[in-house]
Amino acid sequence: MNVYSAIQRRRSIRRFKQQKISDSSLVKMIDAARLAPSASNIQPLEYIAVNDKKTCAEVFPLLKWARLIEGGDTPEEDKRPAAYIVVVINRNFLAKGGRHEVGAAVQNILLAALEDGIGSCWVRSFNASKLSEKLNIPEYCKPDSVIALGVPAESPVTEPAKKHKMEYWRDERGLLHVPKRKLGDILHRKKYIN
Ligand SMILES: Cc1cc2nc3c(=O)[nH]c(=O)nc-3n(C[C@H](O)[C@H](O)[C@H](O)COP(=O)(O)O)c2cc1C
């Protein structure tokens, strides 16, 4: 799969088959994250790989799903993620900031996952203090993001967004629609306003 088609195909997945995600797949995703760009090459990010049932069950209730969908969009018990990668910023490497690094690293994770047939959802709404407690994250590390992973049990579709209407939504069959702004609405040639 070439990079551009992976970028086009990737969608956030919130329904998963209950198939184990291997250690080697997780290691490959974290290796892809490790190689992402980093300002001054400081590389402040570290990763916790979780794919055992007990720890997955501890992480799941700490996450919030798709707040734009009325009533939330929490996966049913038999559709929960089979693995997680928790991205932490090690403050001993970088006292403040690191969000741009997280962005670049997480996108590498999402695309590396896709290449292995693994769906993903980048989750930033979570209970950070409880997660730190459950995963023994030391106080000098700040958990920034949780990447939920698993073999996809849904195939969301993209559609052109109507101006200023970006909310994703599920139809009566449960199909997730993800509006994306049209190229003509975001591409400015030569100057922002000509
Ligand atoms: C920084 C960031 C934080 C996000 N946090 C959450 C989250 O807490 N829960 C969730 O269900 N989705 C979360 N998402 C996923 C977005 O809802 C999703 O990317 C968006 O709806 C567009 O869909 P797409 O990823 O399929 O293109 C997050 C995405 C980003 C980039």
Question: Phi and psi (nearest 5°) for 141?
Answer: -115, 130
Which of 7, 10, 12, 167, when mutated, tests ligand 1's pocket best, judged by the most ligand atoms within 8 Å of its CB?
12
Q: Whose CA is nearest to atom 15 of ligand 1?
A: 122
Nearest-atom number in ligand 1 for the CA of 106 is 31
Interatomic CA distance for residues 26 and 75, integer angstroms: 21
* Contact indicator for 60, 125 with CB cutoff of 8 Å: no
Interatomic CA distance for residues 90 and 43, integer angstroms: 9
pLDDT of residue 115: 97
Interatomic CA distance for residues 71 and 67, integer angstroms: 8
pTM: 0.97
**What one-character DSSP code corresponds to residue 135?**
T
Interatomic CA distance for residues 118 and 25, integer angstroms: 9
pLDDT of residue 71: 86
- What the chain holds in terms of domains, given with CATH numbers, is 3-154 (3.40.109.10), 156-194 (2.20.180.10)
Q: Indicate if the alpha-carbon torsion angle 88, 106, 86, 123 is positive or negative.
A: positive
Sequence-ordered list of residues with C-beta below 8 angstroms from that of 168, at least 6 positions apart, any chain: 66, 68, 69, 156, 176, 177, 178, 179
Give the distance (Å) from ligand 1 centre to CA of residue 150.
Answer: 16
Is 123 near ligand 1, meaning CB less than 6 Å away? yes
Nearest by Cα to 42 from 83, 96, 112, 86? 96
pLDDT of residue 142: 98
pLDDT tens series, the chain, 194 aa: 899 999 999 999 999 999 999 999 999 999 999 999 999 999 999 999 999 999 999 999 999 999 899 888 999 999 999 999 999 999 999 999 999 999 999 999 999 999 999 999 999 999 999 999 999 999 999 999 999 999 999 999 999 999 888 899 999 999 999 999 999 999 999 999 99
Is 64 near ligand 1, meaning CB less than 6 Å away? yes
Is 169 near ligand 1, meaning CB less than 6 Å away? no
Is 134 near ligand 1, meaning CB less than 6 Å away? no
